[in-house]
């Protein structure tokens, strides 16, 4: 069991003056020394399509929190792009050493030294925006490949989960983004011979599907979509960690019978299973690359909806005891000895919100 003690609290500042409707948090990027950067979005009336009206950043530490609303031109710039971002999609943030960035599309990124600093825009070579067939949804042209998630990486390489034009926003592909900060260049690695991103092979995961409690509906869904959805991934330097959460991105309605973490080769073939969740769960691979945070989808399972931590060195699963008075709070992130807790999970969790930064007791 991991018993946590409170180190300090910090309030994620309000950005309501810029957004009059919904405000949410997409990423919490924890750095060493009890510092983190939050990245989120907001909406205003009058958007012709769904998706965010703009984005914000916040720097968090024991000294407090400082927020910045990003100019719309910074995050919605499409000039020179072959496949501009789907206006209904959400931008994704990533860590790169002591820096952090925002992946605009598979063709371009923004790299920040700090929340208040102006970012450097970097074009990405070897992108795959011109590949595949253009898909349409509600008369809105989707990007050829949509960025779904950025996981923790090693060195100057960041693993990225992508959705193909035909996968309706479900992330079933992975490519590795290499960023040369000094040269101001970036490129995609581990792609196929035609330049497109790779995806796992369904047969590698077939053995994980034989669940006694699997319903007929789940079995039918699995037969229709044999490539699992990658909910999180990490780059360890020579191989990937991949968490396959299921086959349908509507986890709550259709369940997630896989819920398995594996070590994978660069071609995404499975080396070995690392951890299998007792209940259908979502997983967050910590920035430290030494543990994962497991969040069950339902309260009716073995874990009764309570989060656990899996340490990868011994592959042991540990129950979490939050500090007194914070029993219902969620662990959002971990790095370098600090656990970041909040009253609710990330997503549609408007700000301000006070976070608890804890250490092991």
pLDDT at 351: 67
pLDDT at 298: 85
CA distance 200 to 205: 9
Q: What is the mean pLDDT of residues 112-140?
A: 75
Residue 297 in this model has a pLDDT that exceeds 80: yes
Least confident of 6-20, 210-224, 295-309, 343-357: 210-224
Contacts of 79 (CB under 8 A, 6+ apart): none
Residue 94: strand, helix, or coil? strand
Starting at the earlier edge strand, list the strands of the sheet with 185-189: 92-96, 99-105, 108-112, 120-125, 185-189, 173-180, 157-163, 146-150
pLDDT at 299: 87
pLDDT at 224: 45
DSSP string, 59-93: EEETTEEEEEEPPHHHHS--TT-SSPPPTTS--EE
Which has more confidence, 136 or 299? 299
CA distance 162 to 142: 13
| Residue 1 · residue 360 · CB < 8 Å | no
User: What share of the chain in percent tops pLDDT 90?
Assistant: 56
* 170-209 pLDDT, tens digit each: 889 999 999 999 999 999 999 988 888 999 988 888 777 6
CA distance 308 to 296: 9
DSSP string, 217-258: HHHHHHHH--SPEEEEEEE-SSSEEEEEEESSS-HHHH--S-
Residue 149: strand, helix, or coil? strand
What backbone phi and psi angles, to 5 degrees, belong to 206? -60, -35
Q: Please report which confidence band the pLDDT of residue 132 belongs to, taking 50, 70 and 90 as the band edges.
A: low
Which has more confidence, 234 or 297? 234
pLDDT at 65: 93
Q: Please report which confidence band the pLDDT of residue 19 belongs to, taking 50, 70 and 90 as the band edges.
A: confident
Least confident of 78-87, 104-113, 347-356: 78-87
To the question of domain 2-75+86-360 being in CATH 2.60.40, the answer is: no
Residue 87 in this model has a pLDDT that exceeds 70: no
Q: Please report which confidence band the pLDDT of residue 52 belongs to, taking 50, 70 and 90 as the band edges.
A: confident
Residues 170-196: b if buried by 16+ CB within 10 A, e if exposed:
bbbbbbbbbbebeeeebebebbeeeeb
């Amino acid at each position: 069991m991991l018993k946590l003690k409170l180190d300090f609290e910090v309030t994620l500042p309000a950005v309501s003056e810029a957004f009059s409707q919904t405000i949410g948090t997409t990423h919490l990027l924890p750095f060493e020394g009890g510092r983190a950067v939050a990245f989120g979005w907001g909406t205003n009336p009058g958007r012709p399509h769904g998706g965010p009206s703009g984005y914000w950043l916040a720097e968090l530490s024991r000294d407090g929190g400082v927020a910045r609303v990003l100019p719309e031109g910074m995050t919605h710039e499409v000039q020179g792009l072959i496949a501009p971002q789907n206006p209904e999609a959400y931008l994704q943030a990533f860590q790169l050493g002591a820096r952090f960035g925002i992946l605009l599309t598979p063709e371009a990124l923004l790299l920040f030294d700090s929340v208040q600093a102006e970012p450097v825009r970097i074009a990405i070579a070897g992108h795959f925006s011109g590949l595949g067939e253009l898909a349409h949804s509600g008369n809105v042209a989707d990007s050829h490949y949509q960025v779904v998630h950025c996981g923790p990486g090693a060195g100057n390489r960041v693993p990225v989960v992508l959705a193909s034009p035909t996968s309706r926003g479900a992330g079933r592909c992975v490519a590795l983004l290499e960023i040369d900060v000094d040269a101001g260049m970036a490129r995609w690695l581990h792609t196929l011979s035609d330049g497109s991103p790779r995806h796992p092979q369904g047969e590698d995961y077939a053995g994980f599907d034989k669940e006694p409690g699997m319903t007929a509906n789940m079995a039918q869904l699995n037969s229709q979509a044999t490539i699992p959805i990658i909910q999180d991934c990490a780059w360890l330097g020579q191989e990937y960690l991949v968490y396959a959460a299921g086959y349908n991105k509507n986890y709550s309605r259709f369940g997630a019978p896989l819920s398995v973490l594996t070590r994978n080769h660069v071609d995404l073939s499975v080396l070995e299973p690392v951890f299998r969740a007792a209940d259908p769960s979502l997983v967050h691979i910590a920035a430290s690359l030494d543990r994962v945070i497991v969040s069950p989808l339902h309260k009716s399972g073995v874990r009764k909806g309570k989060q656990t931590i899996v340490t990868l060195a011994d592959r042991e699963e540990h129950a979490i005891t939050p500090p007194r008075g914070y029993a219902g709070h969620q662990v959002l992130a971990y790095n370098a000895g600090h656990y970041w807790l909040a009253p609710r999970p990330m997503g549609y969790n408007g700000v301000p919100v006070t976070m608890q930064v804890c250490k092991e007791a």
